[in-house]
Structure 1
Amino acid sequence: MEQRKYKTKQEVLIRGQEAVGKTLGEIDKTGRIATGKGAVGTVIEESWFGYKPNSKPAPDFEEAGVELKVTPYRQTPRGILAKERLVCDMLNYEEEYGKTFETSAFWTKCACMLLMSYEHKDGVPKVDFTIDKAVLFQFPDEDLEVIRNDWKVLMDKIKAGQAHLISEGDTMYLAACPKGRNSQDTRSQPFSPIPAMKRAYSLKSSYMTQILRRYIFGDEPCEKIIKDPAALRSTSFEDWFSAKVRPYTGMSRTELKAQLDVKTNAKNLNELLVSAMLGVKGHLSKTEEFQKAGIQLKAITVEVDGSIEQNVSFPKMDFCAMMNETWEESTLYNLLAPTKFLFVIFQKTEDGECYFQRIKFWNIPADDLEEVHRVWQRTVDTLREGVHIWKDASGRNRNNLPKASESRVAHVRPHGRDSTDTAPLPTGGSMTKQCFWLNNSYVAEQIKEV
Structure 2
Amino acid sequence: MKTDSPSSENELLNRAKSIAGLTLGELATELNLSVPPNLKRNKGWVGQLLEIALGAKAGSKPEQDFSHLGIELKTIPIDAQGYPLETTFVSLAPLVQNSGVNWAHSHVKHKLSKVLWIPVQGERRIPLAERYIGAPVLWQPDAEQENRLRRDWEELMDYIVLGKVHQINATLGEVLQLRPKGANNKARTQGIGRKGEVIETLPLGFYLRKEFTAEILQNYFVA
Specify if TM > 0.5.
Answer: yes
Percent identity over the alignment is 27
Per-residue deviation, 1:209: 2.0
Cα 1:93–1:15 change in 2 (3 A) is: same
Residue 428 of structure 1 is matched in structure 2 by none
Question: Does the 8 Å contact 1:6/1:63 carry over to 2?
Answer: no
Q: For residue 4 of structure 1, report the CA deviation from its aligned partner.
A: 2.0
2:210 paired residue number: 205
Distance 2:177 2:4 in 1: 33
Structure 2: distance between partners of 1:44 and 1:201: 22
Which residue is 2:134 aligned to?
Answer: 132
Shift of residue 51, structure 1, vs aligned partner: 4.0
Whether 1:72 and 2:77 are equivalent positions in the alignment is yes
Checking the alignment, whether the CA contact within 8 Å between 1:164 and 1:194 is kept in structure 2 is no
Task: For 1:36, give the aligned amino acid.
Answer: N
**Rg larger in 1 or in 2?**
1
1:218 paired to 2:211: no
Task: Using the TM superposition, give the Cα deviation of residue 72 of structure 1 relative to its aligned residue in structure 2, in angstroms.
Answer: 0.9
Match of 1:19 in 2: 19
1:9 corresponds in structure 2 to 9
SS at match of 1:106: helix
Question: For the Cα contact (< 8 Å) 2:5–2:57, is it kept in 1?
Answer: no
Q: Give SS of 1:189's match.
A: strand
Paired positions, count: 214
TM-score (norm 1): 0.45
Residue 85 in structure 1 maps to residue 91 in structure 2: no
Gap runs ≥5 in structure 2 = none
AA partner of residue 19 (structure 2): A
Q: Deviations over 1:404-441 (max 9, x none)?
A: xxxxxxxxxxxxxxxxxxxxxxxxxxxxxxxxxxxxxx
SS in structure 2 at match of 1:88: strand
Tell me the amino acid that sits aligned with residue 41 of structure 1: G
Q: Taking structure 1 as reference, are residues 2 and 136 closer, same or farther at Cα in structure 2, changes over 3 Å only?
A: closer
SS at match of 2:83: strand
Q: Which has the higher contact order (CA 8 A, sep 6+)?
A: 2
Cα distance in 1 between the residues matched to 2:99 and 2:129: 41
Show the 5 A alignment for 1:167-178: 167-178=169-180
Divergent runs of 4+, >6 A: none
Q: Secondary structure at the match of 1:62?
A: coil
The within-5 A match list for 1:186-265 is 186-190=188-192, 191-215=196-220, 217-218=221-222
Pick from 41, 44, 49 the counterpart of residue 50 of structure 2.
44
Note if contact 1:180-1:197 (Cα within 8 Å) is conserved in structure 2.
yes
- 1-side partners of 2:216 and 2:187: how far apart? 31
TM-score (ref. length: structure 2): 0.86
Aligned residue number for residue 156 of structure 2 = 154
Once the 2 structures are TM-superposed, how far is the Cα of residue 213 of structure 1 from its aligned partner? 2.1
CA distance in 2, matches of 1:33, 1:205: 27
CA drift of 1:115 comes to 0.4
Instruction: Give how far 1:53 is off.
Output: 5.3
Residue aligned with 2:136, SS:
strand
C-alpha deviation, 1:214, in angstroms: 2.2
Q: Secondary structure of the residue that 2:222 maps to in structure 1?
A: coil
Say whether the 8 Å CA contact 2:115–2:139 is kept in structure 1. yes
Matched letter for residue 122 of structure 2:
H
| Distance of aligned partners of 1:53 and 1:123 in 2 relative to their CA distance in 1, 3 Å threshold | farther
Q: By how many angstroms is 1:68 displaced?
A: 0.5
Q: Is the 8 A contact 1:178 1:199 kept in 2?
A: yes
Deviation at 1:18, TM superposition (A): 1.1
Cα displacement (A) at 1:165: 2.3
Return closer, same or farther for 1:153/1:30 CA change in 2, 3 Å cut-off. farther
Contact 2:58 2:66 in 1 (8 A): no
1:302-345 deviations in Å (ceiling 9; x for gaps): xxxxxxxxxxxxxxxxxxxxxxxxxxxxxxxxxxxxxxxxxxxx
Paired residue type of 1:153: E
